[in-house]
Amino acid sequence: MSPFNLQTCARKNILALEPYRCARDDYKDDGTNILLDANENAYGPSLQPDISQADLNVDFLGLHRYPDPHQADLKQLLCKLRNTHTHTSKDLTPDNLFVGVGSDEAIDALFRCFCVPGKDRILTCPPTYGMYSVSAQVNDVGLVKVPLRPAPEFGLDTDAVLEALGREENVKLVYLCSPGNPTASLLAKDDVRRVLEHPTWNGVVVLDEAYIDFAPDGTSLAEWVLEWPNLVVMQTLSKAFGMAGIRLGAAFTSPPIVRLLNSLKAPYNISSPTSALASYALSGKGLKIMRANRDKLLAQRERLIAELPKIPGVGRLRGGTASNFLLYEILDASGAPDNVTALAVYEALAETEGVVVRFRGKEHGCLGCLRITVGTEDEVTRFLGSLRRTLEEVRGKGKQAGEEEKEAAANAVVA
């Protein structure tokens, strides 16, 4: 019999790993659900409905050949999109760009470039995207956490970050998210600058701009990598471009860091179909579709901001409005933000109404919060009605339970 023992053979940090979870681990799509949980573009991809093989400029009969390992044409399209000259007069070139399988490949690759397992650490600012900590554990890298300033702003606590970088040893990467997830708040450019200007810290600032195309024009700091050699700006086609299924992410940075990332990536990490679809989405036709869909989503975002406060049991907007999702408090029967009530609403919406959102109440500073992805006009209409009905039922049960508890307590005192 083999002496193999998984518990002693596998790495301890991997055995202890809890995989990244999403709402669809709990609620599978049966074709009738409204999915407002993963911040996807509900209006679909930046493609024409009748797109053809000729439009994509891809030879599907050539799939027996490996794809282009350099993707220079695709990188040039990404550079053209971000060369706004808002933050510098210089131009991004393909030498400033790494492309990967979603932003997650860049997140993990940066760990492997800069962090020695079991020794080095990263700094994050919760509440933030969960894959930073998952990748840290996978790579056996420690975490230093400096929370964002309290809601509703959820801005960077820059003084605390600077102090931590001066005090804590072996911090190689700072992961910042702007617009934040789950906060939808933009980080101030001057706050990012102050971190980059730290007088003693030798490390890299990673700015995750996955949702940047929902923010005001000129907000992206991608071209700022031409001024700061230790800045990495990550972006993706999964959100505003509606191309989550092709898994295409980008990291803008200085050429020396790009060379490191390209040296350790898999030889042909971007497939030919992915490259063709991404190139179309970044073409003039694709950008026109993306911007039209984005405008419709922004209109529905404003509608949600106007209508949600009118529903009894919906509390304050926490965070900003610079993304395709919103973070709102859910209130208990007494009018206080409450995780029990928010979780009950999350479950009832999915199980009874077929509307899947995301419970975020366990995140730092997000007590009683649900994160709601902006959907189509019809989806928002259905969501608003479902939320009103669900809150009325859940809070009614909570009120009744509270009254019964008070009555039981009074009877116990009399006895």
Q: What is the pLDDT of residues 307-332, one digit of tens each?
A: 999 999 999 999 999 999 999 999 99
State the Cα–Cα distance between residues 194 and 162, nearest whole angstrom. Answer: 8
* Site of tokens 């994509």: 56
Average pLDDT of the chain to the nearest whole number: 91
Instruction: List pLDDT tens digits, range 282-311.
Output: 999 999 999 999 999 999 999 999 999 999
Whole-number pLDDT of residue 412: 52
Whole-number pLDDT of residue 242: 96
Q: Residue type at 333? A: A
Which domains does the chain carry? 11-40+288-413 (3.90.1150.10), 65-282 (3.40.640.10)
Q: Are 41 and 375 in contact (CB under 8 A)?
A: no
* Site of tokens 């299924």: 245
Whole-number pLDDT of residue 31: 67
Is cis: bond before 152, omega within 30 of 0? Answer: yes
Query: What confidence tier does 33 reach under pLDDT thresholds 50, 70, 90?
Result: confident
Whole-number pLDDT of residue 47: 87
State the Cα–Cα distance between residues 294 and 242, nearest whole angstrom. Answer: 10
Report in angstroms the alpha-carbon separations of 155 from 131, 150, 190, 214, 365: 20, 8, 11, 18, 12
Whole-number pLDDT of residue 389: 97
State the Cα–Cα distance between residues 80 and 400, nearest whole angstrom. Answer: 59
Q: Give the list of residues 6+ apart from residue 398 with CB closer than 8 angstroms, or none.
A: 332, 333, 340, 341
* Partners of 204 in the β-ladder: 173
Q: Give the side-chain half-sphere CA count within 13 A for 409.
A: 6
What percent of the chain lies above the pLDDT cut of 70?
Answer: 92
Closest Cα to residue 370, out of 334, 339, 336? 339
- Give CA angle at 381 (400, 357), nearest 5°: 65
Whole-number pLDDT of residue 410: 46
Q: Residue type at 31? A: G
Q: Are 88 and 150 in contact (CB under 8 A)?
A: no
Q: Residue type at 74? A: L
pLDDT at 407 over 60: no
Query: What confidence tier does 59 reach under pLDDT thresholds 50, 70, 90?
Result: confident
Query: What confidence tier does 341 reach under pLDDT thresholds 50, 70, 90?
Result: very high
Angle between helices 339-348 and 377-414 (to 10 degrees): 130
Query: What confidence tier does 51 reach under pLDDT thresholds 50, 70, 90?
Result: confident
Query: What confidence tier does 23 reach under pLDDT thresholds 50, 70, 90?
Result: low
For CA atoms 41, 215, 98, 76, give the dihedral sign.
Answer: positive
Whole-number pLDDT of residue 399: 65
State the Cα–Cα distance between residues 318 and 154, nearest whole angstrom. Answer: 8
What percent of the chain lies above the pLDDT cut of 90?
Answer: 80
Whole-number pLDDT of residue 348: 96
Lowest mean pLDDT among 62-66, 82-86, 114-118, 372-376: 62-66
Q: Give the list of residues 6+ apart from residue 180 with CB closer than 8 angstroms, or none.
A: 127, 128, 148, 154, 186, 187, 319, 320
Closest Cα to residue 383, out of 285, 315, 298, 311? 311
